[in-house]
Chains A and B, each alone.
Chain A
């Protein structure tokens, strides 16, 4: 009976999908087949552990009770099911209790460690794959998430957030139809876009006018929204460090604030004000005022986060959520180093390892207390429990990684090799260009400037 119910549910989903396909422009490579004809496979994910093919098949056979009627097809089946066996992982993404012990080179796995192998998993998950983040295909033969992949976006920048993480963030922030979502460091608008996809009205600010306006009227934030048929965001060029000076005092306005704050030099964290160290400000002559490009100065990460949390506490409705990402290296301690605010409570911290020493944390906070205007300085000063050194841990990570790489043995050889490679590529390109140019000219003059003979 449960089977019949499942079958009925899948059939009704298929009907809904058939209607969706008719309404969308996407080509349907696999026409909708009835349930009992659909090919299927089960993919096994065991992060941190390796299982032989035979061991995996044993896992698969445990699901034979599902009795999928269609044929098994490993390549591009109509339906893909996923079984995830979760074990405890360390900061680098390896198992805390590995199944196999490592070989001499530290990599190859040798014998089984029986005690570890016998440990029960943290959890097991089983479900059907609806969409795959990168290039995978789902059961309709087209990829829903791929549609939103950055590869298809008309306007991108070096700080654009990948669509998967944006979708996760807006989910964590509970962005939904009717929400008012705000991104104070909107950049190219990639996070706001996913908020709009979820049915929210969106509002974004940034201090960088160039990134707000995009490359041209056909390649900017608004054109990205138009690409997906979404209502356009409201955009303002303003400075989040002085939010209260750009915007009048208002009742809590936003249901969600979702953002990727700038962390240092590469991302260009800036705030309004003179760059001069002596604090002296040269007045702007009236006749130049409207063309004057306002000076901005570096914005310390400790202040970026303090201001962000304070603006969130001030402008979020009660129960509203702030979700942000921070890069962090191994020295980051979640208990002590996360910024805090009296009005906000940490709801979740999701850690994603990226490289050996670098990871990314997605932090979600919820407003639990009304904001008190009189306490502004108190709130700001209470941001870092361990002092601004915590902020230093997330600032300028790129530069720190380069410094760390420089200290490793063999760095100089590698750097010299890279330099040589670049030189060779450059010369090869030059030669190819000249050869092409020569072919266009029938006679070679004896005094021809043959650059390829140089150095």
Chain B
């Protein structure tokens, strides 16, 4: 699972509205560089929840070798036009944190109920148990 996916996942255990963003507990993590796809990234950025991305980066950075790059503390990504003016370094770093970090084993923890969703072999298991629906 990469941070791209994490940005969209939430917990809705027993209908909680405060299940986003999920906290990340890392057991095993991998980094694999991929080339920057600028077009795809610019299309994607307006849909990304930036604060959640930043929090996620902070939660996993210590586990990454080499450590993850710094991304701006605050960034308004909602406007496609202004995103195009972002400097190349920032775009590269955004690409890196969104696409190049793989959580192989770990947990995604609901910030409201504490329910832990397992991540195994890179696949998060979000299925609710029958008493959580």
Kindly report which residue of chain B lies nearest to residue A204, judged by CB atoms.
B123
Q: Tell me if B127 and A207 are in contact (CB < 8 A).
A: yes
Q: Tell me if A250 and B47 are in contact (CB < 8 A).
A: yes
Q: Tell me if B123 and A213 are in contact (CB < 8 A).
A: yes
Residue in A203, A213, A231, A283 whose CB lies within 8 Å of B121: A213
Residue in A203, A209, A222 whose CB lies within 8 Å of B125: A209
Q: Tell me if A282 and B10 are in contact (CB < 8 A).
A: no
Kindly report which residue of chain B lies nearest to residue A231, judged by CB atoms.
B34
A274 CA to B126 CA in the complex, in Å? 16
Kindly report which residue of chain A lies nearest to residue B42, judged by CB atoms.
A178
Q: Tell me if B121 and A246 are in contact (CB < 8 A).
A: no
* 27 CB-based A-B contacts, threshold 8 Å: A203-B5, A209-B123, A213-B123, A217-B121, A231-B34, A234-B4, A235-B122, A236-B5, A236-B9, A236-B126, A237-B126, A237-B127, A239-B126, A239-B127, A239-B128, A242-B12, A242-B128, A245-B10, A247-B8, A272-B128, A281-B130, A284-B129, A289-B129, A290-B116, A294-B128, A294-B129, A296-B127
Per-residue 0/1 for B29-53: is the Cβ within 8 Å of any A Cβ (1 yes, 0 no)? 0000010010110011011010000
Q: Tell me if B131 and A251 are in contact (CB < 8 A).
A: no
A212 contacts B by Cβ under 8 Å:
yes
Residue in A178, A238, A247 whose CB lies within 8 Å of B40: A178
Q: Tell me if A238 and B126 are in contact (CB < 8 A).
A: yes
A245 CA to B49 CA in the complex, in Å? 17
B92 contacts A by Cβ under 8 Å:
no
Q: Tell me if A246 and B10 are in contact (CB < 8 A).
A: yes
B133 contacts A by Cβ under 8 Å:
yes
Residues of B within 8 A of A217 (CB): 121
Chain B residues near A (Cβ < 8 Å):
1-2, 4-5, 8-10, 12, 20, 34, 37, 39-40, 43-44, 46-47, 49, 116, 118, 120-131, 133
A282 CA to B1 CA in the complex, in Å? 31
Residue in B20, B121, B130 whose CB lies within 8 Å of A274: B130
A407 contacts B by Cβ under 8 Å:
no
Q: Tell me if A295 and B2 are in contact (CB < 8 A).
A: no
Residues of A within 8 A of B47 (CB): 250-253
Q: Tell me if A245 and B40 are in contact (CB < 8 A).
A: no
Q: Tell me if B118 and A290 are in contact (CB < 8 A).
A: yes
Number of interface residues of A (CB under 8 A): 40
Chain A residues near B (Cβ < 8 Å):
178, 180, 201, 203, 207, 209, 212-213, 217, 220, 222, 231, 234-239, 242, 245-248, 250-253, 272-274, 281-284, 289-290, 292, 294-296
Question: Interface residues of B: mostly helix, strand, loop or mixed?
Answer: loop
Q: Tell me if A237 and B8 are in contact (CB < 8 A).
A: no
Residues of A within 8 A of B129 (CB): 284, 289, 292, 294-295
A289 CA to B12 CA in the complex, in Å? 16
Q: Tell me if B123 and A212 are in contact (CB < 8 A).
A: yes
Given contacts A178-B39, A236-B1, contact A222 B122 (CB under 8 A): yes
Given contacts A178-B40, A251-B47, contact A246 B12 (CB under 8 A): yes
Residue in A207, A220, A247 whose CB lies within 8 Å of B10: A247
Residues of B within 8 A of A239 (CB): 126-128
A289 CA to B129 CA in the complex, in Å? 9
Residue in B8, B125, B131, B133 whose CB lies within 8 Å of A250: B8
Tell me the smallest distance from the CB of A23 to a CB of chain B, in Å.
18
Q: Tell me if B10 and A284 are in contact (CB < 8 A).
A: no
New A-B pairs, 9, CB < 8 Å, besides A180-B43, A209-B125, A250-B8: A180-B40, A231-B34, A236-B1, A247-B10, A282-B130, A284-B130, A292-B129, A295-B130, A296-B127
A178 CA to B1 CA in the complex, in Å? 20
A272 CA to B132 CA in the complex, in Å? 10
Residues of A within 8 A of B1 (CB): 234-236
Residues of B within 8 A of A201 (CB): 37, 40
Q: Tell me if B10 and A272 are in contact (CB < 8 A).
A: no
Given contacts A178-B40, A251-B46, A253-B47, contact A245 B12 (CB under 8 A): yes
Residue in B9, B34, B131 whose CB lies within 8 Å of A246: B9
Tell me the smallest distance from the CB of B15 to a CB of chain A, in Å.
8
